[in-house]
Chains A and B, each alone.
Chain A
Amino acid sequence: MRAVFEEILERVKYYRELGLNPLALATGCAVKVDLLRVVYPAIGILRRELEGSGLSIAPREDALVLRGEAEEVHRRVYQLGSDSGVSPSDIASLSRGREVYAVTVVQVFQRYADSPEGFLEKIAPIYRALAKSGASITIGKGHSILTPFPEDEFTLFDFIPHSGSGEGFTAVNNDTIHIIDPSQEPGDERQVSGAISNSFNDIFVLGVHKRLRMLPVLNAPTEDLLDKLWENARRFASRYGIEVVEAEQPKRGRLLMGATAIGYSDRAPPVFEDKVAAGSKLVITRPMGELAPINLYLSAIIDESLVKDLEGYGIPFEEVEKAKDRAVELISKPNIEAASVIYKYLPETPEEFRVDEYIAVTTDVTGPGIFVVKELAERTGTRIRLHSVPLLFPEISKVATKLYVIPNSTSGTNGPFIAIVPDTIVDDFIRDLKSKGLVPAVIGEVVERGVKPEVVAPAGLREYVADQRVLSEFTLA
């Protein structure tokens, strides 16, 4: 075991030689700016201020959904806290009279992410300048992440001019990650594969799995490493039939991996919140909780006394290492097979939706973990009863929670999907998922609709979630 520790600490040294501190690179749980306390209030203020201008900010969605097939994408990278890089005439020329949709990434120094006002100080000048372009702009999806390094700040916009007509729909999402597994080399293929898979997850969950394109977002402190990341991204794209669209890069900061992911579907997206029927089942495509073993493993490397704690709970360190490797493997594999199964159970047009034949709503289990079920209850105005919370590594998750290594061990990255499925097709849906090598399970059901949203969950959830803000969202029974 000593050799493992030395190897990892050696790798930490290597990261430091690259100007990186792998322990300051969040593996998932802390990378996003706090949505409830910072991002939403800031966006609310901005939305009110820009009312009446050509720029609007759409309500929070996991992915931007556009009617028809969108072809053009134009990327612009701006410095935060200033409008000097934004050219209104540039935006007007992209638009040429069409509506312009955008997905954005904001990487903000964490000290400005402690309040809506601090966050606004960074993003508002850019939004105000865009509003002055005269173009009609809809910000469809924003992704805000923290950096411990002030010089790493930037914001990136992928603008999509679109006439808003045509058959089917285009789904667009952006996501980025600093690192998947800091105990491995940043050039390890699984790091980029995981980051890009995670970017596609929010469009795969809509059943989108055709005509896939991506505009990578890649950054590294050395040219060699950057080349390696690009090589890995292209290999990933080739393996899954994804077109790579090269676009401007932030070219500042340390390590960053991800992409703007785009796909097309000729079926309606599963956003039939008002059609969810009581008695429908909640089906998960595989167990959740990828982040717990990764965080526990890294924590034990830093604090060897945790290894003794683990042994006290009957978990050898080697078991955590195996679980960590399995979790990284899962993260680095795109959920494209699950997307193709969801697609099969969607209607060709929204008008054709029938409650007993089609999947009504889907979601993916990522950072908030099991909390996404509460979000489902809120979206659909239903009472949901959860029978079980299937975890990839239940014992490891339990210990990681007990040791406060992770406040919510149901959290994941590139996690599984949960679908609300009518009882009549549950068996077929599960059989199809199994035929793709997945491990689906029925985890609960919709008890009632048209009521105050509520999720009744097993009391045992306390063993996996220490975060009281998350736990308080459930009725534990």
Chain B
Amino acid sequence: MAEHPNAGLIREAISLFNRGDWDAYREYFTEDVVWHVGGNHPLSGDYRGRDAIFEYFARVRDLTGGGLRTEPQDILADDSHGGVFTRVTADRDDRHLDVVLAQAYRINPDGKFTEYWALADDQDAVNAFWS
């Protein structure tokens, strides 16, 4: 079965994230995008608007020395939604993170992300990593 165009879109966005190409990555979001970061840690919560989300990405980058990587295992999509199961690895001081994150996206007709949710298979490990 051919990949849905929105699956390709998500794949490109993840690749830009991994390369740290923030200007190009920014183009994949609407101005008023909402980002839900699950869990109980200092970065958890709802981020509203592209600026708030990119401040969050900057914090993630600073805390992990730019070394957080996400490696998609499966990408699902239809005309207005996407989902990704992705392995996320990062190091922070002497802490190591290695989890699978389940991510859900809403995508508008222009091919931009309007809403996002994420939660990990081992949420306790994520909470400990960021706390």
Q: Do the two chains bind?
A: no
Residues of A with Cβ closer than 8 Å to B?
A: none
